[in-house]
Structure 1
């Protein structure tokens, strides 16, 4: 997986490769594709991969089930990141407005 790549793009690219291998006579079992996908994530998804491996039987997991699970995690991660960015922006805006009010009159006013 490339840094900053979306789950859907990563799956499309990975499944395209697996399908080309199958069309050229290779055998690519679904469990092998699932395992390769789980090994290919960026460190940002390490906790998600560990969670999936601990809670589910990877040998019986289907690709679409894995993709759905990862999409949910990606959406939560993006919501959390967006909330943190909004909070930082609010804090920055508040800090600037506080400084501009407090700095005009000097000491005591």
Structure 2
């Protein structure tokens, strides 16, 4: 796995979702991780027998999901973090932020 030794400045979420999401998407694409937002992480069903190759792919996807969640969590203050009730995957966290702030923006414009 390619380990990036350079310091990455994570864009801090300040409530301006449109701006932040563009910055964060660019960061995740540069790291080769935005697929975890596009496709999400789907764990195998309990008790499913996997080949060694399938298990390796699943482990890699799980690691990438944790990496993306790490970036997302680092971008949030405690108050915003606590508003995200389901933190099961990076895609779920991203969608939760998107829905929350797009809805807030929509209600302000009414």
Normalised by the length of structure 2, the TM-score is: 0.34
Higher helix share: 1
Normalised by the length of structure 1, the TM-score is: 0.34
Q: Larger Cα Rg: Structure 1 or Structure 2?
A: 1
